[in-house]
Structure 1
Amino acid sequence: MMLAPGPQRKLVETWQTKERPGSPQNLKKLNNQDFNHLRSYCLSKGQLFEDGTFPAHISSIGSQLLPEDKLHSIEWRRPIEIQHNPRLIVDDVSRFDIAQGHIGDCWVLAALGSLTLQKHFLDNVLPNDQGFQHNYAGIFHFRFWHFGDWVDVVIDDKLPFHNGNYLFVHPQMRNEFWPSLLEKAYAK
């Protein structure tokens, strides 16, 4: 692919430098969390990951998004508790996979939709070494371009619900969870 001069070309050239810290091959780790190490540890202990740096708690949602009484009625659920056969991705990633949740976060929908149209960036953001079928331990990771570096962000898969409805972005297909988990990683 031939890129025109400008910010996108500079971005692609910069993140392709393999040795540089913050490149896709040498990621910076948010909160020093190593996905592979944490997943291996959870699998060896037979337990699901719980992220102490971004806990399933109202403090991770923010007090300004909902009234106090609604904040205290939030339920946290893992995809394996929501669907019989959860998948990270069903068929392929598409802008049509995404639906807005209870909170008005349409700007996230727009960003995710745009990302699905840029396959060369999407492949960096959404690593394919994870899912619900093989080596599932309740842990996922996503990569974000942050101030000139690729940063790996680890999360648990607990999602917030209010009155049985997704609080934030959710999938159009009931058993596809990449939109919800990617938004959670971005929020962290």
Structure 2
Amino acid sequence: EGEEAVTSSGLKVKLSDSKQATGTMGSLQNLKKFNNQDFNHLRASCLSQGLLFEDATFPAHVSSIGPDLVSEDKLHQIQWKRPTELQKNPHLIIDGISRFDLMQGEIGDCWMLAALGSLTLQKQFLGNVLPRDQGFQNDYAGIFHFRFWQYGVWVDVVIDDRLPFLNGKYLSVHPRTSNEFWPSLLEKAYAK
């Protein structure tokens, strides 16, 4: 039985533990694939063809940025780069995940910074959001995936690793250390 808590409005809610029930709606075993993209299938296909993944459903294009985040004249100055173009030895995670890994981007995304910082304090949920079956060292194909809880269901979102830069600076949340990329890639998946 789960514990109960009382919210500030006096509503009783059941607290569930972080374990997901096998095979039930809302479990990690019943992931909804955003845009019907299957991470394992797409990565295997890229690896077998020797290609880096390019996500046609969320392209490295100004259309994926949004019209109100950057002025029109700056939109066309955006460059897209993969972590492997930025660093000789990129990593998804270095020495664990911490709220101190995060830096705000050029678009003023402090709300995302706060959400990611909070998530880093909830280690039991972090593995649900950031699957460990990916990285830059083994089976790298320019493809990553992240999971988000939406309307009672875990949704798996696949992205390529091309990140937007404006005047040589990250447009979105970025890592404090130059070769750790989980914050930037997670925000890109959320934006998608």
TM-score by length of 1: 0.94
Structure 1 runs of 4+ aligned residues shifted over 2 Å read 2-8
- Which string of whole-angstrom CA distances, capped at 9 and with x for unpartnered residues, describes residues 140-171 of structure 1? 00000001100100000000000100001000
Identify the match of residue 116 of structure 2 among 108, 112, 115.
112
Q: Residue 90 of structure 2: SS of its match in structure 1?
A: coil
Change (3 A) 1:169 1:3: farther
- Which string of whole-angstrom CA distances, capped at 9 and with x for unpartnered residues, describes residues 70-91 of structure 1? 0001000000000110000001
Q: What's the counterpart of residue 147 of structure 1?
A: 151
Q: Residue 15 of structure 2: SS of its match in structure 1?
A: helix
Q: Does 1:26 pair with 2:30?
A: yes
Aligned length: 185
Q: What's the counterpart of residue 89 of structure 2?
A: 85
Q: Which amino acid aligns with 1:152?
A: D
Q: What's the counterpart of residue 180 of structure 1?
A: 184
Is contact 1:21-1:28 (8 Å) kept? no
C-alpha RMSD of matched pairs (Å): 1.5
Change (3 A) 1:133 1:30: same
Q: What's the counterpart of residue 8 of structure 2?
A: none
Contiguous gaps of at least 5 residues in structure 2? 6-11
Q: Does 1:47 pair with 2:56?
A: no
Of structures 1 and 2, the larger Rg is shown by 2
Work out the CA distance in 2 between the residues paired with 1:77 and 1:8.
44
Q: What's the counterpart of residue 170 of structure 1?
A: 174
